[in-house]
Amino acid sequence: MPGDTLTLLADRLRGPLGDQWVITDPVRLRTYECDGLTYHRATPGLVVLPETAEQVSAVVRACAEAGVPFVARGAGTGLSGGALPRTDGVLIVMSRMRRILSIDLPNRRAVVEPGVTNLAVTEAVRADGYYYAPDPSSQQVCSIGGNVAENSGGAHCLKYGFTVNHILALEIVSPDGDIMQLDALDPGYDLLGAFIGSEGTLGVATKITVRLTRAPEVVTTVLAAFPGVAAGGKAVSAIIGSGIVPAAIEMMDALAIEAAEAAVACRYPEGAGAVLIVELDGPAAEVAGHFEQVERICREEGAFEIRVADDPAERAAIWKGRKSAFAAVGRISPAYIVQDGVVPRTALPGVLARIAELSAEHGIRVANVFHAGDGNLHPLVLFDDAEPGAGERAEHVSGMILDLCIEHGGSITGEHGVGVDKARYMPKMFTEDDLDTMQLVRCAFDPKGLSNPGKVFPTPRLCGEVPGVRKGVHPLVESGKAEQF
Amino acid sequence: MTGRSPLDTLKATGVPVREAVPEDAVAGVLPSWVAAPGGVGEVAEIMRAASSLGLAVVPSGGRTKAAWGRPPERCDLVVDTRAMDRVLEHEAGDLVVRVQAGVTLDGLAAALAVHGQELALDRPLDGATVGGTLATATAGPRALRYGTARDLLIGITVVLADGTVATSGGKVVKNVAGYDLGKLFTGSYGTLGVIAEAAFRLHPMAAERACVTSAHPVSEDLGPLLRRVTAAQEEVSAVEIDWPDPREPYTLTCLVEGVGAQSRASAVRELLGTRASVGGEPPGEWARLPGETFVLEARVRQDDLYDAMLAVAGTVRVTGVEAAVRGWAAPVSVLRIALRTDDGPAAGDAAGAAFVTALRDMVEPGGRVVVVTAPEEIARRVDRFGHIGALPLMKRVKERFDPDRSLSPGRFVGGI
Ligand SMILES: Cc1cc2nc3c(=O)[nH]c(=O)nc-3n(C[C@H](O)[C@H](O)[C@H](O)COP(=O)(O)OP(=O)(O)OC[C@H]3O[C@@H](n4cnc5c(N)ncnc54)[C@H](O)[C@@H]3O)c2cc1C
């Protein structure tokens, strides 16, 4: 039965999209079965590759009419299973919508299609002295549409903010198939802000106006080696507390350093129990002033070696280890789980100590590589998938780390999103009323619940009739003194 | 229920409730009662009671913007948040603060200054509360560097019409778990729920501040100046335009904050020509509303600011309406235009309405013209909000959050 519906849908879409962009061949469908979180897999019922907003609209409208769920997919680098397809639904792949439509430097903005990669935006304006500030580590491949859906961050978001702070307007296809404009210029509810970070559950972004940021005059990168994470964590607090907002503060612990050395030979100071990468950028005078303070604080907190990079080559050398860290863990462990919890920055030392205890208690190694400046942990929970029970233990430790974050007033995800992976943790962080209220937004945009269903919320809310239950007509309306819309 | 008056039912919640007096009016509409809850739990109690009585509720804060927005179609009960004035949590090392919605921005600024921190929002009106600032999405010149309230808000607790309490976000600066209700409620004019608590990301107070001030004739194109100043490596935090009379020159004030502000400001001065001068703190009128009774907001892209200024000057010429303007450059650049129409009510009203229409014709579709507040007679003659692309979606959001239309009905556009 669903098969028939999808066959009819495919037939209907071949006209508007062109034969070759409607994929039904099972082998080709399989290539889209997961995103960056590979242990969730599902073969999509149908894959389409539209090239224009009108085509996206045609697809979504057809889905709405047939009651078929749809999932947008950018580059598929997501780490929470957000782009996990539906076997009974349509996967809308944005990879053909990759044009940069306009660059408007006087207005510091560019209009791009959702399939454009994050880095491509920066590359298009770099020569003019501008860049696109949010910089997920996946920026060479991830798409701006995916960034919008996840409200992605990156190392430099400490100073510059997240995707939501850099999007000025969106064209979206609503879950009914209507093309709509959400613009920061508009007064009223900030629907632009509400859409960003909604993980594809409120519609499909088809055109994105990004804010461009002026490249800073000076960038100074400091690598400080500490005996352990406790000292590093204290240095982070002291830097933030001193009134400096660095562009980035990243930390790696001994195990993460070991992995990075094995993979890319980054040659971080020998014997370091933790390294801190602090990047300062801005006007020369300010950076110079802040650098002195950062160096002094690091020494006071026990840094035994400090390296400084002022040019791109030296900077790249410092960042090399950090940037390779995720992939590098593969060198020291057959399998791993990446977590993305957040804690208040002042809680960092305590939380890191507790993670070390959990690791020891359960005999599961945990490598820490993280955005220390904003308390966003990325514990890599290592295990051997060949060893019976190891996966479960790793999963258990990983869940306990999230509990720890919630206990400290933090969050279960700082940038990777909830997706399918963390939906079950949402009730630990939010009450039922919180989740139900959030889903009122969903009901407004997508009453049929067809846009990326099963993500973010553990239990979907039934939207009921529009506009919901009424308690009778108000006397003023009845008497004609007020109108109801 | 027999014989019990609505006031009794409201009072039975234990929340302080009193009969309204003329000063409690919201955009000219007098409520019957005013409730003054002390916290989110009490807001929920009073909303549940109001909902059981079918009352229309309008939330209110410092009342600095009580005349903004459209008059509510119905207004039985005002929920006054001013008793909710506590700073709930401020862990200085986290650069985060959590407050009740009735805290004033001034009070908050004083409390944070002790720790050398600030909520980087301008304060256009004295006595404005956090809740009112969010509900009206008021911004100021420092939006250029820090963004606006929605960019600094990291968590929010709201109470819906039926008393449901909902929180989104939290108290960490980085968090993507769940939908961001804070965004939705920013600019909601009290039509979706009562904002009860909010958490914000803070900034360290700048070690140094300096301003560069320069006067420019209207004939001098602001565009190239702005491009130069905002691209300057000295990192200007804000550019304000002060233009008390659109027939006279305008003054630009560029704010530079942080280490080396003085020397950086001197470099910025070079970009503005010989007439520019460097001073210390921003002028006293910085970020203030240019008037009170009749204020428009033109919202445009940065590079369209000068065209918008010319449109204002032209409209002043054509309509004969006196205006005072203050604005700023940012991704959403704003000109706040205070109009004076004191030459006889009837003619004045017509001229005021004509001003709005004429200006809007020139500024749309690239920008927007919003009537922030206006005398009743004028307001009735014009469309206050102009074009809003996503209005149908906004209506649907309203229908879901407040199906009975009991929260500030009609205060916002399109009957929302
Ligand atoms: C090595 C590595 C490093 C990473 N580093 C970071 C990091 O530093 N910071 C960070 O935040 N993330 C990081 N990520 C996660 C990931 O790259 C981001 O979440 C990214 O934004 C996903 O983009 P994508 O194009 O791959 O989206 P996909 O994975 O294809 O999709 C992600 C979500 O977006 C939705 N979506 C995609 N396109 C659209 C659209 N046009 N309209 C509506 N919804 C859409 C999908 O339905 C899905 O829910 C990393 C991932 C990897 C593999």
Report the pLDDT value the prediction gives residue A3, as an integer from 0 to 100.
Answer: 66
Band of pLDDT at residue B343, cut at 50, 70 and 90: low
Report the pLDDT value the prediction gives residue A460, as an integer from 0 to 100.
Answer: 86
State how far the Cα of B367 lies from the Cα of A221, in Å rounded to an integer: 41
pLDDT at A469 over 70: no
Distance from CA of A77 to the nearest CA of B (A): 17
Structure tokens at B281: 């703190």
Structure tokens at B326: 């203050």
pLDDT at B328 over 70: yes
**Does residue A485 belong to any structural domain of this protein?**
no
SS3 call for B53: helix
Number of H helices, E strands in chain A: 16, 18
pLDDT at A454 over 80: yes
Residue spans of beta strands (DSSP E) within B202-249: 203-204, 209-216, 236-243
* Chain B residues closer than 8 Å to A482 by CB: 73-74, 409-410
pLDDT digit string (tens) for A416-445? 999 999 999 999 999 999 999 999 999 999
Single out the residue in A37, A70, A93 at which a domain terminates: A93
Report the pLDDT value the prediction gives residue B379, as an integer from 0 to 100.
Answer: 83
Distance B279 CA to ligand 1 centre (A): 46
Q: What is the mean pLDDT of residues B242-267?
A: 96
* Ligand 1 proximity of A326 Cβ (cutoff 6 Å): yes
State how far the Cα of B256 lies from the Cα of B265, in Å rounded to an integer: 6
A181 and A238 in a single domain? The answer is no
A472 and A381 in a single domain? The answer is no
Single out the residue in A48, A74, A93 at which a domain terminates: A93
**Does residue A277 belong to any structural domain of this protein?**
yes
A375 and A227 in a single domain? The answer is yes
**Does residue A187 belong to any structural domain of this protein?**
yes
Band of pLDDT at residue B4, cut at 50, 70 and 90: confident
- Residue bearing the CA closest to ligand 1, atom 9: A136
A142 and A275 in a single domain? The answer is no
State how far the Cα of B112 lies from the Cα of B124, in Å rounded to an integer: 19
A401 and A260 in a single domain? The answer is yes
Report the pLDDT value the prediction gives residue A142, as an integer from 0 to 100.
Answer: 97
pLDDT digit string (tens) for B360-380? 999 998 999 999 999 888 888
Report the pLDDT value the prediction gives residue B177, as an integer from 0 to 100.
Answer: 97
* Chain B residues closer than 8 Å to A245 by CB: 203-204
Say how many C-beta atoms besides its own lie within 10 A of residue B129's C-beta.
29
pLDDT at B346 over 70: no
A357 and A469 in a single domain? The answer is no
Q: What is the DSSP letter of A387?
A: S
Report the pLDDT value the prediction gives residue B376, as an integer from 0 to 100.
Answer: 84
* Cβ pair B96:A344 closer than 8 A: yes
Q: What is the mean pLDDT of residues B281-299?
A: 94
H/E element, A109: strand A109-112
pLDDT at A465 over 80: no
* Ligand 1 proximity of A93 Cβ (cutoff 6 Å): no
Q: At what angle do helices A284-300 and B261-272 cross, to 10 degrees?
A: 160
A6 and A70 in a single domain? The answer is yes
State how far the Cα of B215 lies from the Cα of A61, in Å rounded to an integer: 55
A87 and A112 in a single domain? The answer is no
A235 and A337 in a single domain? The answer is yes
* Cβ pair B181:A371 closer than 8 A: no
A81 and A106 in a single domain? The answer is no
SS3 call for A321: helix
Dihedral angle over CA of A89, A95, A99, A105, nearest 10 = 90
Q: What is the mean pLDDT of residues B266-282?
A: 91
Q: Give the rounded percent of residues in chain B with a pLDDT score beyond 90.
A: 86
What CATH number does residue A38 fall under? 3.30.43.10
**Does residue A484 belong to any structural domain of this protein?**
no
Total domains present in chain A: 4
Q: Which of B231, B169, B163, B166 is nearest to B200 (CA)?
A: B169
Distance B51 CA to ligand 1 centre (A): 42
Distance from CA of A113 to the nearest CA of B (A): 19
**Does residue A420 belong to any structural domain of this protein?**
no
- Residue bearing the CA closest to ligand 1, atom 44: A200
Q: What is the mean pLDDT of residues A51-66?
A: 98
ipTM of this predicted structure = 0.96
Single out the residue in A63, A93, A123 at which a domain terminates: A93
What CATH number does residue A183 fall under? 3.30.465.10
Q: Quick check: pTM over 0.80? A: yes
For tokens 């808000």, what's the residue? B153
Distance from CA of A173 to the nearest CA of B (A): 12
* Chain A residues closer than 8 Å to B304 by CB: 107
What CATH number does residue A388 fall under? 3.40.462.10
Q: Could you tell me if A286 lies within 8 Å of chain B, comparing CB atoms?
A: yes
Q: Give the rounded percent of residues in chain A with a pLDDT score beyond 70.
A: 95
Band of pLDDT at residue A325, cut at 50, 70 and 90: confident
With a CB cutoff of 8 Å and minimum separation 6, the contacts of A451 are: A69, A70, A175, A200, A201, A202, A203, A204, A445
pLDDT digit string (tens) for A353-364? 999 999 999 999
Structure tokens at A23: 């994929």
pLDDT digit string (tens) for B384-413? 998 898 999 999 999 999 999 999 999 998
pLDDT digit string (tens) for B49-74? 999 999 999 999 999 988 888 899 99
Average per-residue pLDDT in chain A? 93
CB interface of A with B, residues 198-217, below 8 Å: 198, 211, 214, 216-217
- Residue bearing the CA closest to ligand 1, atom 50: A138
* Cβ pair B416:A150 closer than 8 A: no
Report the pLDDT value the prediction gives residue A470, as an integer from 0 to 100.
Answer: 43
Burial class (CB in 10 A: 0-12, 13-18, 19+), A17: buried
Q: Which residues constitute the domain of residue A397?
A: 219-407
Report the pLDDT value the prediction gives residue A473, as an integer from 0 to 100.
Answer: 44
pLDDT digit string (tens) for A264-298? 999 999 999 999 999 999 999 999 999 999 999 99
State how far the Cα of B416 lies from the Cα of B380, in Å rounded to an integer: 16
User: Residue A326 CA: which ligand 1 atom is closest?
Assistant: 1
Q: Could you tell me if A471 lies within 8 Å of chain B, comparing CB atoms?
A: yes
**Does residue A245 belong to any structural domain of this protein?**
yes
* A9-18 long-range contacts, CB within 8 A, separation 24+: A9/A46, A9/A62, A9/A63, A9/A66, A9/A68, A9/A90, A10/A46, A12/A62, A13/A48, A13/A58, A13/A59, A13/A62, A16/A54, A16/A55, A16/A58, A16/A59, A17/A48, A17/A49, A17/A50, A17/A51, A17/A55, A17/A58, A17/A59
In one-letter notation, the amino acid at residue A483 is E
Say how many C-beta atoms besides its own lie within 10 A of residue B138's C-beta.
25
Distance from CA of A483 to the nearest CA of B (A): 8
Band of pLDDT at residue B345, cut at 50, 70 and 90: low
**Does residue A85 belong to any structural domain of this protein?**
yes
Q: Give the rounded percent of residues in chain A with a pLDDT score beyond 90.
A: 88
Band of pLDDT at residue A478, cut at 50, 70 and 90: very low
8 Å CB contact between B323 and B246: yes
* Chain B residues closer than 8 Å to A466 by CB: 396, 399-400
Kindly write down the DSSP assignment for every residue of B296-358, as one continuous string: EEEEE-GGGHHHHHHHHHHHHHHH--EEEEEEE-SSSEEEEEEEE--S-HHHHHHHHHHHHHH
A259 and A206 in a single domain? The answer is no
Which of the two residues, A346 and B325, has the higher pLDDT score?
Answer: B325
* Ligand 1 proximity of A197 Cβ (cutoff 6 Å): no
pLDDT at B176 over 80: yes
* Chain A residues closer than 8 Å to B137 by CB: 187, 190
A253 and A285 in a single domain? The answer is yes
In one-letter notation, the amino acid at residue B56 is A
pLDDT digit string (tens) for A9-24? 999 999 999 999 999 9
Report the pLDDT value the prediction gives residue A472, as an integer from 0 to 100.
Answer: 43
